[in-house]
Structure 1
Amino acid sequence: MAVLTISTISLDTFNAILSRYTTTAPAKLVDLDTLRYVTVPTKLAERKKDGDAFLEKAEVEGLVEWKLKHGTFRPKLLQLVQSNPSPLIHDTTRSAFASLDPTSPLPALKSMTSLKGIGPATASLLLAVFDPEAVPFFSDELLRWVTWEEGGGWKRKIKYDVKEYAVLVQGVGKLRERLGVKAVDVERVAWVLGREGRDVGAGGGEGGEKTEEEVTPNDGAKKSKSVKGKDETKVVGKGVKRKTEDGKTSEGARRSTRRKTAT
């Protein structure tokens, strides 16, 4: 199986995966995709020529809707964004675009996050439509692809903070330098790989969030954390029985917690 990590993928393979984007993306996203990849970037390019690039409130709302429908849907996020006055959106986006350094977009990113509902991930999207050539969008799939070799696969937990975006920018920058591709196309390749659930290789695995129980490498059995003075018991699979303090058995249930964050 070919290794498809971001540090090893070939240009031919990159382009082949990129060509599958239009058939992988749901038909219902066509209009929003056009807004995100064509309409808004074209308008910003025209405004840039006039020396006054900024985003209209309706454009920001449309981009946020694209982001929510392309990834994890958080209905309150759009409401927060809509609460920003139009003049504030004009001034904030204008200032962020004017200060943007494509090789180091973090200062502009932080400036953009002063708007309500605009976290690092959404701020990166607004910068990405301004400079699709060099500035990457902080998508779930792209971060997971960049950090694949650290483990976690397509279920890697994401914090959506500036530190993680810096890691993403560095990873995308190295790929762009090696293959000569656009940041926006790197984003789309990562999205296709994630939607297809491809194991990109090099030991990244498909693991998700870690718990107190650890999967053993040989037989997949889960070993519970030992407690002083108590017998250590093995748990295999879901819903199996484990010993309690009184020697009886009870059904084991794996618990997981999820945090909803503004991105």
Structure 2
Amino acid sequence: MELDFKCSDVGVWKKALSSYESKVESLNKPDLVSLDQYYRVELPSLLHGRDPNPYLTTSELSQLMKWKLSRGKWRPRLLDFVSSLDDSVVKSASEKAFKSLPDISKAVNELTVLKGVGPATASAVLAAYAPDIAPFMSDEAMEVALGNSKDYSLKRYLLFVTKLQKKSKELKLEGEWGGASDVERALWSCTVRSKSKPAEKSSSEKKRKRKE
């Protein structure tokens, strides 16, 4: 099932979103299920438990990075970078970022001073605290929403945020729906599923196979 970003049928989007957990499991990546549970449930609870001055620790940022890399492309150097950051530096930068919300541009800039943290990782941090307004900048969702997933600039992320927030509001008008992060997860689920589905062989390919 591929999901057209222009689709306004909330039922279609809900079906896509409901497949998220099973899709995570089907990827069979080490620790991804537990990391996803940590990112979507445990980490948000920890962050909001620190209100009105929420912050992130180095160990939490490392776990978040493991989730991000496991769900997408594994880049071990990024994990090494964030794991070596001083705890006080991470706490300070993340606290400033969370306080900057709902100014997403400013919040991202507060986080990208950290080595190994670009707009995509910053978006994951913000999405853990404010999923309604700050969706994670996944390659899969970017590709569907913007037609390109290779530009990880802040400018591109802000365009992505605007489109997903708008889509979220549109779906809420049609029925019960979550925030921008639910839109991202629905897009991710469908895109990953379509990529992992074996391509149907043409009749000519089947004939060649029988001759081999």
TM-aligned CA distance change 1:20 to 1:157, over 3 Å: closer
Q: Which residue of 2 aligns with 1:46?
A: 49
Alignment partner, residue 33 of structure 2: 30
Q: Describe the shift of the 1:83–1:13 C-alpha distance in structure 2 as closer, same or farther (beyond 3 A).
A: same
Residues 146-201 of structure 1 show CA distances to partners (whole Å, capped at 9, x for unaligned) of 124xxxxxxx4512111110110111011011012312211211111111127xxx
- Counterparts of residues 130-209 of structure 1 (less than 5 Å): 130-148=129-147, 156-180=148-172, 181-197=178-194
Structure-1-length-normalised TM-score: 0.67
* SS of 1:25 mapped into structure 2: helix
Percent identity among equivalent residues?
A: 32
Letter of the 1:88 partner, please give it.
Answer: V
Give the number of the structure whose residues are more often strand, by fraction. 1
| 1:185 partner letter | D
Segments of structure 1 that go 5 or more residues without pairing to the other structure are 149-155, 199-263
Q: Matched residues in 2 for 1:138 and 1:85: separation?
A: 25
**Residue pairs, 1:214-225, within 5 angstroms:** none
Aligned residues: 186
Counterparts of 1:1-263 in structure 2, within 5 Å, are 4-26=3-25, 28-48=31-51, 51-101=52-102, 104-148=103-147, 156-180=148-172, 181-197=178-194
The root-mean-square deviation of aligned C-alpha atoms, in Å, is 1.6
Contact 1:83 1:116 survives alignment (8 Å): no
Residue 106 of structure 1, CA deviation: 1.0
Looking at CA atoms only, which structure, 1 or 2, has the larger radius of gyration? 1
- The answer (yes or no) to whether the contact 2:120–2:138 under 8 Å persists in 1 is yes
- Larger mean Cα displacement after TM superposition, 58-67 or 183-192: 183-192
Pairwise CA distance, 1:7: 2.5
For the residue of structure 1 that corresponds to 2:50, the secondary structure is helix
Structure ranking higher on relative contact order (CA contacts 8 Å, 6+ apart): 2
Structure with a larger share of its residues in helix: 2
Partners of 1:52 and 1:133 lie apart in 2 by: 19
Tell whether the 8 Å contact from 1:3 to 1:9 is kept in structure 2 after alignment.
no
Gaps of 5+ in 2: 173-177, 196-212
Q: Secondary structure at the match of 1:195?
A: helix
Q: How far is 1:3 from its partner?
A: 8.1
Q: Give CA-to-partner distance per residue, 1:223-262, whole Å, 9 cap, x none.
A: xxxxxxxxxxxxxxxxxxxxxxxxxxxxxxxxxxxxxxxx
How far is the alpha carbon of 1:108 from its aligned partner?
A: 0.7
TM-score, normalised via structure 2 length: 0.83
Mapped to 2, the partners of 1:113 and 1:187 lie a distance apart of 21
